Amino acid sequence: MILDLATETASRSDLEALQLDRLQKTVRHMYDHVPFYRQEMEKAQVKASDITSLEDLVRLPFMRKDHLRDNYPFGLIAVPLDQVVRFHASSGTRGKPTVVAYTKGDIERWSRIVARAVACAGGRPGDRFHNAYGYGLFTGGLGLHYGIEELGAAVIPISGGNTPRQILVIQDFAPRGIAGTPSYVLNIADEMRKMGLDPRKTSLDYGILGAEPWSEALRQEIEEALAIKAMDIYGLSEVLGPGVAMECIEAQNGLHIAEDHFLPEIVDSKTGLPLPYGETGELVFTSLTKEAFPVIRYRTGDIASLNPDPCICGRTLVRMSRIKGRLDDMLIIRGVNVFPTEIEYVLLRLNEIAPHYQVVVDHRGALDTLEVHCEVTPEYFAEVGSLEADHMRSNALRQKVLHMLRSELGISVGLHVHKPGVLPRSEGKAVRIVDKRPQQ
């Protein structure tokens, strides 16, 4: 039941029949209980009874983050408030946070979705599981927590931060699984090395990492550092939290969307028009089973593509590519679109450069400028003594990094190569972009 294999391997026609039934119920529920969305449907001249096939989805109006902010805090909740058993919120860099809510049934379904995701990554009942996602309004900590318990594994609810204690607990409790942001899990491995411990010699076998964009190169770095398999988990509070999509340990090639609970679309972010399988665009989700906070055609702002090809793991659920980046984080430098993950991908291909970086965006004259800050690895640093002392070598390294960035990104950028430990380390979502441009 926990693996829910019947659903995960269902035929397309069975799955679509289930999706249509659930979509119709969700649209009716929204129309009846969320005045904001009823008005949107009336403006778009679409009635709940017009949704007779999955193709009719495109007739429904989009929901966006702004709508959540405008209806802060409880305006979009579709059940009486006394049926809500949990709230979460995303921090939101500007303005009010966005608030989401769950009924008891929502929490039970979410737990089963996450249990399924943990199993998809190789987790088993009886595992001990180190959960380093933050507990609180963020969905990561509690979202994983309930799913791990539902699977029948033992959760270690350590939350984020206090890295020395995390290391002690990993050593003493000997967990098989670990969850956290990729940047924080890497940070734990670095700290282990600094304490003279070998991060490859822990009990850990697999990691469930996500909540921030990360590149294939960073996956390799983490797998190598900790001698684990690292799988990508995706989700967002507005749609649920962690578990909307999960990579399988068999293929590690794209994330299976929990399509029995979420209907995915890829649209052109400018026109909103749907794009076919394989094309890259903005991910849009419609929830199919949520009671307290259903969303219809929610524009995530995340950039990815969908792949319907059969997967070696046997699941028939469509796979999304890893997230290339968020529209909010896309930098437009001299007309060229750049995502931080593309910079990460270049930096991590160089053995001398550590997987810690930040991108500073500024405005000079009429142009946006981009400066990449990165660090050399402790090994390289030990070899050269100091970056200033071996001027020739560090200059050659700088030129090499600059050349690779230029040829990969198609623009020239500024570069600062620092000694190890200079850039800030994350305990949750890494801050990759420092935007110094004047706010309009």
Judging by beta carbons within 10 Å of its beta carbon (0-12, 13-18, 19+), is residue 66 exposed, middle or buried?
exposed
| Closest of 266, 257, 262, 258 to residue 288, by C-alpha | 262
In degrees, rounded to 5, the angle at the alpha carbon of residue 232 between the alpha carbons of residues 174 and 116 is: 75
**Do 427 and 161 form a contact (C-beta atoms < 8 A)?**
yes
- Burial (CB < 10 A; 0-12, 13-18, 19+), residue 398, is middle
Please report, as a single letter, which amino acid is at residue 434. Answer: V
Binding ligand DLL by CB under 6 A: which of 64, 326, 393, 425? 326
Distances (CA, A) of 127 to 112, 121, 194, 438: 17, 12, 28, 49
Q: Work out which of 79, 155, 192, 233 binds ligand DLL, going by CB under 6 A.
A: 233
Give whichever of 51 and 115 is closer to ligand DLL, judged by the CB atom: 115
Tell the smallest beta-carbon distance from residue 107 to ligand DLL (Å): 15
Among 147, 210, 294, 428, binds ligand DLL (CB under 6 A): 210
Name the residue nearer to ligand DLL (CB basis): 19 or 321. Answer: 321
Using only C-alpha atoms, the chain has a radius of gyration, in whole angstroms, of 22
Using rule CB under 6 A, residue 163 touches ligand DLL:
no
| Alpha-carbon span 307 to 257, nearest angstrom | 10
Give the residue with the Cβ less far from ligand DLL, 323 or 347: 323
CB of 308 to ligand DLL, least distance (A): 20
* DSSP per position, 39-68: HHHHHTT--GGG--SGGGGGGSPPB-HHHH
**Which residues 272-301 are close enough to bind ligand DLL by CB under 6 A?**
300
Part of the chain binding ligand DLL (CB under 6 A), chosen from 28-36, 210-218, 265-273, 376-384: 210-218
Cβ at position 140, least distance to ligand DLL in Å: 3
262 vs 380 by CB, closer to ligand DLL: 262
- Under rule CB under 6 A, residue 213 binds ligand DLL: yes
Find the part of the chain contacting ligand DLL (CB under 6 A) among 155-163, 197-205, 229-237, 371-379.
229-237
Nearest to 207 by CA among 241, 238, 240, 184: 184
CA 50 to the chain's CA centroid: 34
- Parallel, antiparallel or unpaired: strands 128-131 and 177-180: parallel
Provide, rounded to whole angstroms, the least separation between the CB of residue 88 and ligand DLL: 8
Choice from 147, 207, 242, 355 touching ligand DLL (CB under 6 A): 242
| 321 binding ligand DLL? (CB under 6 A) | no
Of the residues 259, 302, 344, 375, which one makes contact with ligand DLL according to CB under 6 A: 302
Among residues 167 and 244, whose Cβ is nearest to ligand DLL? 244
- Residue window 111-140: x/- pattern of binding to ligand DLL, with contact defined by CB under 6 A: ----------------------x----xxx
Q: What φ, ψ does residue 170 adopt, rounded to 5°?
A: -60, -40
Residues contacting residue 52 through CB under 8 Å, at least 6 positions apart = none
Closest contact distance (angstroms) between CB of 438 and ligand DLL is 25
Give the one residue of 236, 263, 284, 405 binding ligand DLL; rule: CB under 6 A: 236
Nearest to 300 by CA among 39, 98, 46: 98
Chain position whose Cβ is nearest to ligand DLL: 210
- x-marked contacts with ligand DLL along 82-101 as a string, rule CB under 6 A: --------x-----------
- Non-local (6+) Cβ contacts of 307 within 8 A are 254, 277, 278, 318, 319, 320, 321
CB 112, CB 5: distance < 8 Å: no
How many residues lie near ligand DLL (CB under 6 A)?
Answer: 22
Which stretches of the chain bind ligand DLL, using CB under 6 A?
90, 133, 138-140, 143, 210-213, 232-237, 241-242, 300, 302, 323, 326
